[in-house]
Amino acid sequence: MRHGTFLFCAGVLALGCGDRSSAWDADYESVSAGGPPTQGLSGSVAVRDDALDRLVMITSPGGRDLTTKALPVGKGIVYWQTDAKRERLFVLSEGVQPRRERDDEKPSLTVIDGGGWREVDGRAEFHEPSILARYELDDPPNPVLYLDPEGEYAVVTVGGGVVENPNELLLVNLPEDGDDEPTIEAKTIRSFGSSPQAISFTKRLRFPDGIGRRMMIVQTEQEVALIDPENLDTEITVRLSEPLNGVNMSSPVEVAVHDNQRSQFDPDDGERFPIIAIRLRNRSTVPLLSFEAAPSEAEAGVETTGVDFLVTVNIAEVGSVPSDIDFFWTEVDAAPALRLAALLPNRSEVALVNPDANYTDYVALGAAYDHMTRVTDDVAVQPLNSDVALLTGQSVYSVAFWELGSTGTRSYRSLETHSIGIPINQIIPITQDASAPDGEDYGHLKLLRGVTASEFYVLDLNQRQSAPMLTTGTSGANITPAPDGQRAWVSVANEEEIASVRFSDLHPTTLVLERPVAAVYDIAQPETTHGSPSRVAIALHIEGASLGATVLDARAPDTADTRFYGGILLGGIR
């Protein structure tokens, strides 16, 4: 289908007489792989236009106005993803395959600043969406990208040839704000017969050699590797199993890291170093990695290389295969004590492991909770020495608030359960908006939803209340919190109705638009003349080759106050 459209809007099309862009002849390509056709960022909406190897970035200068800007990305988008802050986009492209001519495009990674209105030094400034960097790759990338939540690194893997090295990683060192040139380094990790399955990054941790470093944690089928992204030669591999006599491999499925630091600790009581726990597939044992100073050959004047510390491995027995693990602070003898919690849905218990003593205590939960989320920072009243966790389960019709604590050396728990109508398999956090006026910060709310439920719940962590929100007859609704943390948008694919749920009073507003909605995005606008923040909601309509948008006031949506735009993918084509 050609890029024709029967929806016109003034100012969208401009044709040079006698100089017609070849883009007009390009067939529209529906997005079938490599991610969704659209992505929402904090200040813009990105739309894929694979036929023209570009992204169309939509921003709003104010009111109900939209502007678009096309950004070229490489040919053949393989995968794209936003970062945790939703300010950057990462696009992997395979280029021209196979390359026959010297100037055939090579595979690439494009890093895009989503732009839009952002608060800088208390003032709203508009940033044009722009390309921050583009890296050429030697080989086509795999459709997966590992992003550092702190925005410093990204990891790309390549493959697709006759021979593929799955242990070869490309570490992209991302610049802050585009000031520096980003760099890319190749690293083949040490392998004992396996390949990476997941990659994550720690925050900066202090190690016994006195060096604070971040670690990239690479999980393979049977090992966990700790690699310093600032010095890729610093690679420590922990083999979790040694197949003997038919013993099955121990495969890591989850890694929990804790810095083991707390402000109450007295440095004179001894140094504390990070602890890492590894959950294994189908195993009731959890290896614990701790770090200690190496024997002091260096003190004897012997030059040392590599890392100057040892990794100690100790196996904790938790009694049953855990579904989730994480570190939590408990209180022992009126002081904070770190424990590894392992949820045991088979036993309706949680195991609390003292990582120093490797002693396990069991706490009955009364239900088969299988997921836990630390919510200590989200509640108004925070215990002094212990954490608060939210427990949910895919087969449990309740949620539980678990306030960890202890009496002497035995743990007790303050467990408060709330019945809800659906088993939960997803917890959607609400952005904590530090700039929100007092009483308008809803970071203490969580949206809880099940897999096929026709309702979701708004959970208030402070009040310990859960409010059901019924999405009658729409079990597959998309629920998207707004980046400013003030509302959530609910839409159902190809339906004309959308809803906004205001967190201040949980009032839902249903809006019936003129066309089926593919997605709803909430982006920032410049402040109003009164100085109050402004946001706009953009409902996208995708009908075959046509992309349109309905623009509404996000804070006070009213179908009587909208503007419709059609032919958005024609934007920029001349």
Partner 1 sequence: MRRRTSLAMSAGGVIGALLLGVGCGGSDSEASGPPGILYTGGTSGFLPVGTGGRAGTAGGGTGGTLPPEAELEGSFEAPIVTGKYLWSANPQSGRVALVDAETLRVTTVESGFGPRYLAAIPTADPEDAATIVLNELGEDATLLTLVDGVIAEPVRFSTHAQANSLAVSPSGRWVVAWSDWREFNHLDPTDSFQDLTLILVTPSSGDPCATRRVAGYRPSSVTFDADEQNLLVVSEHGVTVIDLTDEANPEVRALVEVAAGGLADAAARDVVVTPDGSHAIVRHDDSNVLGFVDLATAVITDVTLDGRVTDLDVADEGATAVAVMRGIGQVAVLDLPEAITDPEHIHTTSLPRSFGSVSLAPDASVGVLYTNAEPTTVVAKLSLSDDETFLDVETEDLRAPVRAVLVAPDAEHAVALLDPPSGSVKAGAFSIIPTFAPRGPKIVGTDAPAMAVAIAPAPSTEALVTTRDDVTRTYGVHVIALPSLQEDYLPLVSPPLAVGLIPELGKGFVAQEHPEGRITFIDFPTNLPSGSAATPTARTLTGFELAARVTYPADN
Which residue number, 280 or 513, has a Cβ lying nearer to partner 1?
280
Q: How many residues bind to partner 1 according to rule CB under 8 A?
A: 34
Residue of 118, 213, 239, 563 that binds partner 1 (CB under 8 A): 239
Q: Nearest distance from residue 405's CB to partner 1, in Å?
A: 20
The minimum distance between CB 341 and partner 1, in angstroms, equals 17
Of 258, 251, 267, the closest CA to residue 219 belongs to 251
Helix (H, G, I), strand (E, B) or coil at 509: strand
Which amino acid, 477? A
What is the chain's length?
Answer: 574
User: CA-CA distance, 540 to 568, in Å (whole number)?
Assistant: 10
By CB under 8 A, residue 305 contacts partner 1: yes
205 Cβ neighbours under 8 A, 6+ residues apart: 212, 213, 214, 215, 257, 259, 273, 274
Per DSSP, the three-state class of 462 is: coil
CB of 358 to partner 1, least distance (A): 4
Phi and psi based region of residue 438 (left: phi greater than 0; alpha: psi -120 to 50; beta: remaining): beta
Tokens 């009694």 appear where?
319
CA–CA distance, 128 with 380 (Å, rounded to integer): 38
Q: In the set 13, 96, 310, 335, which binds partner 1 (CB under 8 A)? A: 310
Minimum Å gap between C-beta 221 and partner 1 is 15
- Residue closer to partner 1 by CB (options 126, 309) is 309
Paired with 256 in beta bridges are 277
521 alpha carbon, distance to own chain's centre: 17
Task: Tell me the closest approach of the beta carbon of residue 245 to partner 1, in angstroms.
Answer: 6
Q: Does 317 bind partner 1 (CB under 8 A)?
A: yes
Member of 31, 96, 211, 311 binding partner 1 (CB under 8 A): 311
Q: Which of 52, 57, 240, 448 binds partner 1 (CB under 8 A)?
A: 240
CA 30 – CA 23 distance, rounded (Å): 16
Distance of CA 289 to the CA centre of its chain: 25
CA–CA gap between residue 68 and residue 557 (Å, rounded): 22
Q: Which is nearer to partner 1, 353 or 520 (CB)?
A: 353
Q: Looking at 305-313, 412-420, 504-512, 514-522, which segment touches partner 1 (CB under 8 A)?
A: 305-313
The smaller minimum CB distance to partner 1, of residues 179 and 303, is found at: 303
Q: Kindly indicate which of the ranges 108-116, 211-219, 228-236, 542-550 contains the residues binding partner 1, using the contact rule CB under 8 A.
A: 228-236
Least Å distance, CB 313 to partner 1, is 4
Return d(Cα 144, Cα 158) in angstroms, integer: 9
According to CB under 8 A, which one of 97, 142, 200, 314 is a site residue for partner 1?
314
Q: Any contact of residue 307 with partner 1 (CB under 8 A)?
A: yes
Distance between CA atoms of residues 542 and 559, nearest Å: 19
Give the x-and-dash track for 172-201 against partner 1 (CB under 8 A). Answer: ------------------x-----------
In the list 235, 259, 433, 543, the residue contacting partner 1 (rule: CB under 8 A) is 235
Nearer of residues 317 and 527 to partner 1, judged by Cβ: 317
Centroid of chain to Cα 455:
24
244 binds partner 1 (CB under 8 A): yes
For partner 1, the closer CB: 234 or 562: 234
Q: Using alpha carbons, select from 208, 337, 355, 212 the residue that is nearest to residue 278.
A: 355
Q: Which of 81, 237, 320, 346 binds partner 1 (CB under 8 A)?
A: 237
Contacts of partner 1 in 351-390 (CB under 8 A): 356-360
Question: Least distance (Å) from partner 1 to the CB of residue 481?
Answer: 42
Asked if residue 166 lies in contact with residue 159, where contact means CB atoms within 8 angstroms, the answer is yes
Distances (CA, A) of 318 to 286, 360, 364, 370, 405: 7, 7, 13, 14, 19
The amino acid that residue 549 corresponds to is A
Q: How far apart are CA 243 and CA 395, in angstroms?
A: 35
Report, in Å, the least distance between residue 171 CB and partner 1. 16
- Judged by beta carbon, residue 242 or residue 558, the one nearer partner 1 is 242
Query: Residues 258 to 297: which contact partner 1 by CB under 8 A?
Result: 285, 287, 292, 295
For residue 113, give the H/E element and its range: strand 108-113
DSSP string, 1-52: --S--S---TTS----TT---GGGGSPP----SSS-SEEE-SS-EEEEEGGG
Q: What is the dihedral of CA 514, 519, 522, 523, to 10 degrees?
A: -100
**Are β-strands 88-93 and 77-82 bridged in parallel, bridged antiparallel, or unpaired?**
antiparallel
User: How many Å apart are CA 10 and CA 123, to the nearest integer?
Assistant: 32
Q: Which is nearer to partner 1, 191 or 431 (CB)?
A: 191
Kindly indicate which of the ranges 227-235, 334-342, 369-377, 381-389 contains the residues binding partner 1, using the contact rule CB under 8 A. Answer: 227-235
Q: Is residue 236 close enough to count as binding partner 1 by CB under 8 A?
A: yes
For partner 1, which residue of 183, 188, 248, 312 counts as binding (CB under 8 A)?
312
Residue with smaller CB distance to partner 1, 26 or 313:
313
Q: Are 252 and 238 within 8 A, CB to CB?
A: no
- Residue 245 binds partner 1 (CB under 8 A): yes
Q: Which of 198, 238, 321, 427 binds partner 1 (CB under 8 A)?
A: 238
Comparison of 116 and 355: residue with beta carbon closer to partner 1: 355
How far is Cα 244 from Cα 208, in angstroms, rounded to an integer?
Answer: 33
Which residues make up the interface to partner 1 (CB under 8 A)?
Answer: 190, 233-240, 242, 244-245, 247, 285, 287, 292, 295, 304-307, 310-317, 356-360
